Amino acid sequence: MKTVLTGITTTGTPHLGNYVGAIRPAIAESRDPNTRSFLFLADLHALIKCHDPKQIHQSTLEVAASWLALGLDPEVTTFYRQSDIPEIPQLTWILTCMTAKGLMNRAHAYKAAVQANEEERSADPDAGITMGLYCYPILMAADILMFNAHVVPVGKDQVQHLEMTRDIAQRFNHHYGEHFVLPEARVDESVAVLVGLDGRKMSKSYNNYIPLFVPQKTLRKMIMRMVTNSQGPDEPKDPNCPIFEMYRAFATPEQTEDMRRRFHEGIAWGTVKQELFELIDAELREPRQRYEELMRHPEHIEAILQKGAAKAREISAPFLMRIKRAVGISALG
């Protein structure tokens, strides 16, 4: 049985790009009887990037409601909030004491922050960089090693963190004995990457995204606002474009081929967008209702997370005991 684990940082509102690139494939995989899946809200990681308490709290609610509304089954997937598992920060410390400082010096996110300071000719290359950012990969290693995950589905930007996790685990295993599974990153190149409203990759950092659960009318308006070229209604169009890619991400293969043909024949952008809207809306209509219902009852979400935490702690509590024993921390008699 393969263990698959992933975390979502709770700093933003889930958008269509997250849905197509991460949420939809993860929920599909969680239904595979040959995997044991763990999914968690990485709210301790969120504190690294965001110091706005309201935003952290709201995002945690929205992310949890989104996954549940889209069909994540908390009876099948262990679904929890990172901060509800006190063993994670404890393991983080133990791993911190096995992590070379030089390894952290090489982390892309940290290096990028130092470089930004240098480009601004700041006197201090570490200006504005917290120890949270610096040690980010160790907290992530603890998330993963705690549940002995084999596979960690992530975006390309997280691959280095998985390499670091393996490094840290290996060093621990070498010194204290085989305790940790060495996890592997899985970057799925086949999932669609959506383009945002401005033509760049849809991303919360560019603020160009279409939120997953806006009201139907707003969804339509936002799709209509997407940038296209200025070709007229009857001109043949190149399907090699973001709107077509987005259509494909929601359409069946037959619908996609049909649309490709209509691009070549010349289809008005307005028509493409209307049909794109209808397709997305059809897929999201029911989840949107469930989402709105869940957002009205945060106490239901809280209860689900509490159950998930209890299930996760059945694993993390005894495993942390084992790790503590391995390093020499245990009862004296």
d(CA 51, CA 179): 35
Say how many C-beta atoms besides its own lie within 10 A of residue 274's C-beta.
14
Cβ nearer to ligand TRP, comparing 82 with 208: 82
49: part of which helix (H) or strand (E)?
helix 43-49
Give Cα 170 distance to the centre of its chain: 25
What would the two tokens of residue 38 be?
């763990």
The site for ligand TRP, by CB under 6 A, has a size of 12
Residue from 7, 17, 74, 308 binding ligand TRP (CB under 6 A): 7
Site membership for ligand TRP, residue 143 (CB under 6 A): yes
- In the region spanning residues 177 to 236, those forming contacts with ligand TRP, defined by CB under 6 A, are none
User: Residues 242, 228: contact at Cβ < 8 Å?
Assistant: no
Among 48, 144, 226, 276, binds ligand TRP (CB under 6 A): 144
Q: Which is nearer to ligand TRP, 138 or 223 (CB)?
A: 138
Tell me: does residue 56 bind ligand TRP (CB under 6 A): no
* Site string (90-109) toward ligand TRP, x via CB under 6 A: --------------------
Confirm or reject binding of residue 152 to ligand TRP (CB under 6 A): yes
Cα 261 off chain centre by: 35
Rounded CA gap, 166 and 148, in Å? 11
Q: Distance between CA 267 and CA 194 in Å, rounded?
A: 21
Q: Does 6 bind ligand TRP (CB under 6 A)?
A: yes
Using the Cα atoms of residue 44, residue 46, residue 52 and residue 58 in order, give the sign of their dihedral.
Answer: negative
> Looking at beta carbons only, is 142 or 259 nearer to ligand TRP?
142
The distance of closest approach from Cβ of residue 108 to ligand TRP in the complex, given in angstroms and rounded to an integer, is: 12
Q: Which is nearer to ligand TRP, 98 or 154 (CB)?
A: 154
Return the ∠ at Cα 252 (arms to 248 and 254), rounded to 5°.
100
Neighbours of 160 (CB within 10 A): 15
**C-beta nearest to ligand TRP: residue:** 7
Applying CB under 6 A, among 9, 10, 60, 77 the residue interacting with ligand TRP is 9
In this structure, which amino acid lies at residue 269?
Answer: W
Which C-beta is closer to ligand TRP: that of 24 or that of 45?
45
Residues 20-49: x where in contact with ligand TRP by CB under 6 A, - otherwise, as a string = ----------------------x--x----
Q: How far is the CB of 157 from ligand TRP (least distance, A)?
A: 7
276 binds ligand TRP (CB under 6 A): no
β-strand partners of 294: none
Nearer to ligand TRP, 4 or 243 (CB): 4
Tokens read off for 321: 């005991």
Phi and psi (nearest 5°) for 35? -125, 150
Shortest distance, position 273 Cβ to ligand TRP, whole Å: 30
Q: Which is nearer to ligand TRP, 185 or 249 (CB)?
A: 185
Q: Whose Cβ is closer to ligand TRP: residue 154's or residue 249's?
A: 154
**40 beta partners:** 7, 80
Q: What does the longest C-alpha to C-alpha distance in the chain come to? A: 84
Of residues 193 and 241, the one with the C-beta less far from ligand TRP: 193
Buried b (16+ CB within 10 A) or exposed e, 208-228: bbbbbbbeeeebbebbeebee
Q: Residue 155, SS3?
A: coil
**To the nearest whole angstrom, how small is the minimum distance from the Cβ of residue 42 to ligand TRP?**
4
Residues binding ligand TRP (CB under 6 A)? 5-7, 9, 42, 45, 140, 143-144, 152, 154, 158
